Structure 1
Amino acid sequence: MPFPAPLTGVVPPLCTPLTPEGEVDVPSLLRLVDHLLAGGVHGLFVLGSTSEAAYLTDRQRGLVVEAVAGQVGGRLPVLAGAIDMTTPRVLDHVRAVTKAGADAVVVAAPFYTRTHPAEIARHYRLVAAGSPVPVVAYDIPSAVHTKLPGEVVLELAAEGVLAGLKDSSGDLAGFRAVVSGARTDPRITGFSVLTGSETIVDAALAVGGDGAVPGLANVDPHGYVRLDGLCRTGEFEQARVEQERLCALFGMVGVGDPARMGGSSSALGAFKAALHLRGIIDCPVTAAPQVPLSGDEVESVGKFLERAGLL
């Protein structure tokens, strides 16, 4: 099922603000939605990696979708992750998030067990057959340990199974191949190809991508919307300058000490610390068992914000 109109522009993957007790902080979540809407974004994506969906209970996942969809009120499309190990479990999530108000679902390949490309394709066909809303493929090999083959994505797009691709693989050549294939195959219409990589948005748009799903847009939505606009008007030198500013800001994801925490803890902790320092969310806590940033590391995040003119 395709989107009513192709999905384009900046579609931030929302952080999920939490209370010190680990519950969803709905008032902070709604302020974050308003912050992103004020930044001019073109859609919202909840329950992805940046949302810490893997750490949330099913009850918390439903609460996030209901809160965000209610606050948006149909002004922008709300995409929700339906991410789990197997097809039946994904279909359970599809039913839950669409009931809660999602306009589309974002689905990764099956994981835990190794799957053949034919099984991955069957997974998406079965999910699409059971979904009342468009299905976007989520290429995130760092999480599911499978790179979605471009030829499988294009085959499913031609069948009308997939409405789009969120490519978080960092493989610009593979991204370009999907963009080119979708553009030249007359069977494929209305298919959106979005990069999930914060640091190559200008390059992804230059090769014909439709938009971006950058986690850093939580912190600086105006910057990514500005970058998107510059690329669309062909002002690529100004776009390069803006992209480089955002690349420098993205350096905040490395503030955490790798001797005591993983890269995900550092990156998500930095995004939440930045949102807290900017007064958008009440608490920068990340979900257990992730390790929180230290006071010195939070101070380093503040310096990144200052250099970017955001604090």
Structure 2
Amino acid sequence: MTFPTPLTGVVPPVCTPLTPDREVDVPSLIRLVDQLVEAGVHGLFVLGSTSEAAYLTDRQRRLVTETVTGHVAGQLPVLAGAIDMTTARVLDHVADATAAGADAVVVTAPFYTRTHPSEIARHFRLIAARSTVPVVAYDIPVAVHTKLPAELVLELASDGALAGLKDSSGDLAAFREVVTGAQHRPDTTGFAVLTGSELLVDAALALGADGAVPGLANVDPHGYVRLYRLCRAGDWAGARAEQERLCTLFGMVRVGDPARMGGSSSALGAFKAALQLRGMIDCPATAEPQVPLSAEETERVGKFLAAAGLL
């Protein structure tokens, strides 16, 4: 199943604002979505890695999807992550996401158990057969420990099992293989290829990608929309300058002290601190057991924002 209209542009993986007691902060979520839409983004992706989907309960996942789909009311497509270890569990999330109004679901390869490429293909085909909305593959080997082979992605696209790919693998050569393959196969028309990188959006679009799903677009949606428009206009010098500004801003993800927290705590904590400093959410809390940023680390986030002209 393909998208009714092409999926292109900037599709931020929406942060999930939390209250101090780690419940979904619905008013902040709505405010964040409003500011993303106002900035001109082309879609929204809820329940991905930047959304802290792995930390949310099923009830919280459903609430996030219902809140966003109900609020945007068809203004732009909403993709929802249906991420879990096995096919049966993913199918439960697909049912919840579609019942909550998602326009598409985003699915990784199975994880925890070790799987063969034929089992990964079967996983996606079974999900596509049961889903009433398009299925987008999420290639994120750092989290699921499996790299989706380009030829497998293209085969599933040709079969109609996949409507798109969000590539967060960091493998630009393999990404190029999917982009080029999708462009030259007559049976992959409409297949959307999106980069999940904050740092290589201009390069991905130059290769022929359809769009980007950068977590940093929560913090600076106008910057990524501007970057996308510059690329589409063929202003590659302007695009490069904007991309380099965003690369510098992305340095905020490293403010956390690696001696006391992991990279996820540092990056997600920085995004949420930035969103609070910009008045987009009320509380910078991340889900347990992630370690919160210190006051000094939050101050460093503010310096990144100021340098980028965002404060």
TM-score range relative to shorter protein: over 0.9
Q: Secondary structure at the match of 2:132?
A: coil
Aligned residues between the structures: 311
Question: Following the alignment from structure 2 to structure 1, what is the Cα–Cα distance between the partners of residues 163 and 29?
Answer: 27
Q: Does 1:273 align with 2:273?
A: yes
1:204-243 to structure 2, matched below 5 A, reads: 204-243=204-243
Counterpart in the other structure of 1:119: 119
Question: Following the alignment from structure 1 to structure 2, what is the Cα–Cα distance between the partners of residues 245 and 306?
Answer: 12
Counterpart in the other structure of 1:303: 303
Q: What's the offset of the Cα at 1:92?
A: 0.3
- Structure 1, residues 129-168: CA drift from partner, whole Å, max 9, x if none? 0100000000000100000000000000001100000000
Q: What's the offset of the Cα at 1:6?
A: 1.6
Question: Following the alignment from structure 2 to structure 1, what is the Cα–Cα distance between the partners of residues 86 and 42?
Answer: 30
Question: Following the alignment from structure 1 to structure 2, what is the Cα–Cα distance between the partners of residues 7 and 59?
Answer: 28
Counterpart in the other structure of 2:84: 84
Q: Secondary structure at the match of 2:286?
A: coil
How large is the RMSD of aligned CA atoms in angstroms?
0.4
Question: Following the alignment from structure 1 to structure 2, what is the Cα–Cα distance between the partners of residues 201 and 210?
Answer: 10
Q: What's the offset of the Cα at 1:184?
A: 0.5
Normalized against structure 1, the TM-score is what?
Answer: 1.00
Question: Following the alignment from structure 2 to structure 1, what is the Cα–Cα distance between the partners of residues 38 and 126?
Answer: 37
Q: Secondary structure at the match of 1:251?
A: helix
Q: What's the offset of the Cα at 1:262?
A: 0.2
Write the letter of the residue equivalent to 1:100: A
Write the letter of the residue equivalent to 2:54: A
Q: What's the offset of the Cα at 1:187?
A: 1.4
Question: Following the alignment from structure 1 to structure 2, what is the Cα–Cα distance between the partners of residues 280 and 202?
Answer: 26
Question: Following the alignment from structure 2 to structure 1, what is the Cα–Cα distance between the partners of residues 285 and 187?
Answer: 46
Q: What's the offset of the Cα at 1:189?
A: 1.0
Question: Following the alignment from structure 2 to structure 1, what is the Cα–Cα distance between the partners of residues 109 and 167?
Answer: 12
Q: What's the offset of the Cα at 1:45?
A: 0.1
Q: Does 1:93 align with 2:93?
A: yes
Question: Following the alignment from structure 1 to structure 2, what is the Cα–Cα distance between the partners of residues 55 and 186?
Answer: 40
Question: Following the alignment from structure 1 to structure 2, what is the Cα–Cα distance between the partners of residues 6 and 40?
Answer: 16
Q: What's the offset of the Cα at 1:190?
A: 0.5
Q: Which runs of 5+ in 2 are unaligned?
A: none
Identity value in percent: 78
Q: What's the offset of the Cα at 1:235?
A: 0.2
Q: What's the offset of the Cα at 1:188?
A: 1.1
Write the letter of the residue equivalent to 1:292: P
- Structure 1, residues 241-296: CA drift from partner, whole Å, max 9, x if none? 00000000000000000000000000000000000000110000000000000000
Question: Following the alignment from structure 2 to structure 1, what is the Cα–Cα distance between the partners of residues 232 and 173?
Answer: 21
Q: Secondary structure at the match of 1:199?
A: coil
1:120-139 to structure 2, matched below 5 A, reads: 120-139=120-139
Q: Does 1:49 align with 2:84?
A: no
Question: Following the alignment from structure 2 to structure 1, what is the Cα–Cα distance between the partners of residues 98 and 12?
Answer: 19
Q: Secondary structure at the match of 1:198?
A: coil
Q: Which runs of 5+ in 1 are unaligned?
A: none
Counterpart in the other structure of 1:290: 290
